[in-house]
Amino acid sequence: MTVLTSTPHADLRVGQEARVTRLCRAEDLYVFAHASGNLNPMHLPDRDGDGDGRAEAVAPSAWVAALISGVLGNRLPGPGTLYLSQALRFAGRAHAGETLTAGVRVAELLTGRAVRLETWVDGPAGRIAEGEAVVEAPDAARRFDGVEVPGLTVQSHRHFDALLARAEPLPALPTVVVCPESPDALMGALLGRDHTLIDPVFVGCPVKIAAAAVEAGADITGIEIIDIPDHRAAALRAVALVHEGRARALMKGHLHTDQLLHAILKKETGLRTNRRLSHVFVMDVPGFDHLLFVTDAAINIAPDLACKVSIVQNAIDLARALGLEQPKAGILSAVETVTPSIPSTLDAAILSKMADRGQITGGLVDGPLAMDNAVDPGAARTKGLTGLVAGRADILVAPNMEAGNMIAKELTFLAHAEAAGIVMGAQVPVILTSRADDDKARLASCAVAALYAESQR
């Protein structure tokens, strides 16, 4: 709780000082750009504004000056203060990641309620700005308790940006795109190609693919198109191309998911392994300090225990391929205690013990956990939960498809997360995209598949 007190003009004395220390964060620069309309690339943390090959992330001088306003309004003279003038000379620059100190000192008491103050801002290398302000001081001492403003979440997706940066230098992943016969399905593949993430071959109806390209304004010159108009037959041919060594990934286009999965799961000619297939959402949630994996939200409607073993292992394998050394999987239920009347809590306890015995490998597994104490350390402490997973889960394993799908959609549409997704458990990764996906999500799905395929080489 923030408590603010003011010093009235009658109580001000020459020489009085106040200071405030503030960390300049990348998020501050984005918020300032939105509020001011100043989109100068020199001030945006992810842009190279002067062409030297690196992002500058220079704090705008007006943002630096605003720190002085914070001292005047919060500390000296405090609440009730209004600016009359501010003069500043800038001797240096501030950057994201630096700690700054803004200060004011009473220099002269003027007529009425006016007061002149010396003002300055210091950074790690010395003084950045100095000058003077003239303000109208409060007429009486006042105290304000519990002053709060709404929180802000900057909707940056830095985790996906990092994935793309890791994946783009890799050799393009040979990928069969099955029936890219709508503009959204086609553009997902072309985006992946343009970013050197995948090297696509199209299987489907050439007339419909060409029409989709015209509608999207896209150029598909140079992409091989294998003419198989029937969707089931196209899916079977795509799987055959993997067996022939011409592809190391599949990508769903404009066909039903079950048609593609049917071809993958055929006993003699499919791409089955000793694992059950499962879908893994890889989610970049604004304000979250790491990627979040949600599974299974798309394939297994009501998985039994044996299926959940594959679901957990598939998610751990994918998380490791994306750089997590020891992923933490939280097995979700409605409560965090083993409760015989809630079957998912029994499955969660068994999965945890199976991981302890080495039947699930590569990560830490704990459950049952409720959603809050799976991702929030404070909630985990409140419930008395210890261990390395509670409050710190990287992977959220839902009890069934409905729950998993709701979690993923809520994060996407309420928390503004970006969601990439692939199917695991086959001989090659299967990229599933949705018509609701934007460009960043489509690219991230291709990047996830490329990184996983590279980890399997």
Whether 311 is in a domain gets the answer yes
Q: Which domain holds residue 106?
A: 4-144
Q: Where does a domain end: 144, 169, 189?
A: 144
Asked if residue 330 and residue 270 are part of one domain, the reply reads yes
Whether 230 is in a domain gets the answer yes
Q: Tell me the CATH number at 12.
A: 3.10.129.10
Asked if residue 118 and residue 162 are part of one domain, the reply reads no
Q: What is the pTM of this model?
A: 0.75
Per-residue model confidence (pLDDT) at position 454: 92
Task: Give how many domains the chain has, as a whole number.
Answer: 2
Whether 150 is in a domain gets the answer no
Per-residue model confidence (pLDDT) at position 1: 57
Whether 151 is in a domain gets the answer no
Asked if residue 102 and residue 41 are part of one domain, the reply reads yes
Asked if residue 98 and residue 67 are part of one domain, the reply reads yes
Whether 278 is in a domain gets the answer yes
Asked if residue 182 and residue 103 are part of one domain, the reply reads no
Asked if residue 221 and residue 88 are part of one domain, the reply reads no
Whether 87 is in a domain gets the answer yes
Whether 376 is in a domain gets the answer yes
Asked if residue 194 and residue 104 are part of one domain, the reply reads no
Asked if residue 163 and residue 140 are part of one domain, the reply reads no
Q: Where does a domain end: 92, 111, 144?
A: 144
Q: Tell me the CATH number at 438.
A: 3.40.718.10
Asked if residue 361 and residue 339 are part of one domain, the reply reads yes
Asked if residue 180 and residue 131 are part of one domain, the reply reads no
Per-residue model confidence (pLDDT) at position 146: 73
**Distances in whole angstroms, Cα of residue 403 to Cα of each of 25, 275, 353, 408:** 36, 22, 23, 9
Asked if residue 200 and residue 123 are part of one domain, the reply reads no
pLDDT (tens, 9 = 90+) of the chain, 457 residues, equals 578 999 999 999 999 999 999 999 888 998 999 999 999 999 988 788 888 888 888 999 999 999 999 999 999 999 999 999 999 999 999 999 999 999 999 999 999 999 999 999 999 999 999 999 999 999 999 999 877 877 766 666 778 888 888 998 999 999 999 999 999 889 989 999 999 999 999 999 999 999 999 999 999 999 999 999 999 999 999 999 999 999 999 999 999 999 999 999 998 899 999 999 999 999 999 878 889 999 999 999 999 999 999 999 999 999 999 999 999 999 999 999 999 999 999 999 999 999 999 999 999 999 999 999 999 998 999 999 988 999 999 999 999 999 999 999 999 999 888 899 999 999 999 998 877 777 888 889 999 999 999 998 7
Whether 237 is in a domain gets the answer yes
Q: Where does a domain end: 121, 144, 167?
A: 144
Asked if residue 287 and residue 173 are part of one domain, the reply reads yes
